[in-house]
Structure 1
């Protein structure tokens, strides 16, 4: 085999241990490069879209109660059903991305989520709306669970903080922006237009994300092993500190969302 061919077939596992980490880091995306700006634009759009699509129904719950003749508690299912399924599905989304690829899973998540929100704007009945929202929780899980992994694989250690910060910032702005856009549009043109407006913004963000995100360079596909996944999850709960942190996040975010639901 020619020397060039031998070099081309070498993977990260073949790199000598002494210089392997340095070589991989040298190939990662760094601050100030065009690829870094593309990643940041993609992650900001992803955060903006994900939480806008998730929380856009919150200001519309009184309209759901009036239109579908359901109680305030039942109307809150339009959000709590989505977040509940999202929390469970995120446990498996990372393993799916190990098999299919980070970028592919995130692109699918954003595009299908935006389409589901647009579909929910035309829901003929309450149960059809809840079905769309339940499926939304499933599809949205492919973004939060995978975005941080993509950044840790593709970005240089010195530059990853800004990338993660922009994703988190986009999430915060998206959560509030989705509520505002849906609520204001609903006041003028009705709740269906409010949801459709957020769905269209999510579709635009999905297109920006797909065009901006650089392809994965360090991803290596792995077989989907549910038994190994279950063992890793069980290991998390055997840690002395982690279960308390999980409970803290559950209680704080649960209280935060509930206050918005019933104000």
Structure 2
């Protein structure tokens, strides 16, 4: 078996001409897609994977050098596409993977058909005239908390990010996902995610994109989603009724409906 397929714990299922490649967000793995993939299995080929350092990937090949920027994660996506010889891929990315998918499409546009971005942000930090949602001091505090008390960090962030207090089971699931990862790798991924700035890349993207913005997202404010839509050519903006940063978990039906409408 191709070493990339083992390294990234790649799973292929479903039947159909078109391929949906699901790319999970920070602190998660491919398991987080299980609420929405059944809706697509009949009509699409579905490809799931874990980034190196996440889920059941081969963590022994993780190096801080490769994954010190989003480029290492972009390469994971391109490696999976290459290993499976995929064409006309619809890349469905959550959170930071929205930008990872976009960067991959800039590098190899001929391999991509469309991008679906769930809770995307071109930059998480506030800047002059730009609302990202976080001040630098907030992020540095979060990173320090991860180092001092990893379990405490997970139980602090999970309810804020999920933002569906009436569904405590989902908050617990997210907390478990955070906590089962390697603390050092997770902290490095957090740093890469929160300090990333893809605004200067937006004009280079040519693949059509759907931006799915949650109505009350504590990680990505609506202004960040609107900025992305304004600066990303061929983009479609949908404001969801779903609250929180994980609509594919908390509001799977609405998430599926918007994606299906876009792909028709």
Bucket of the pairwise TM-score, normalised by the shorter protein: under 0.3
* TM-score (norm: length of structure 2): 0.22
Rg comparison, structure with higher value: 1
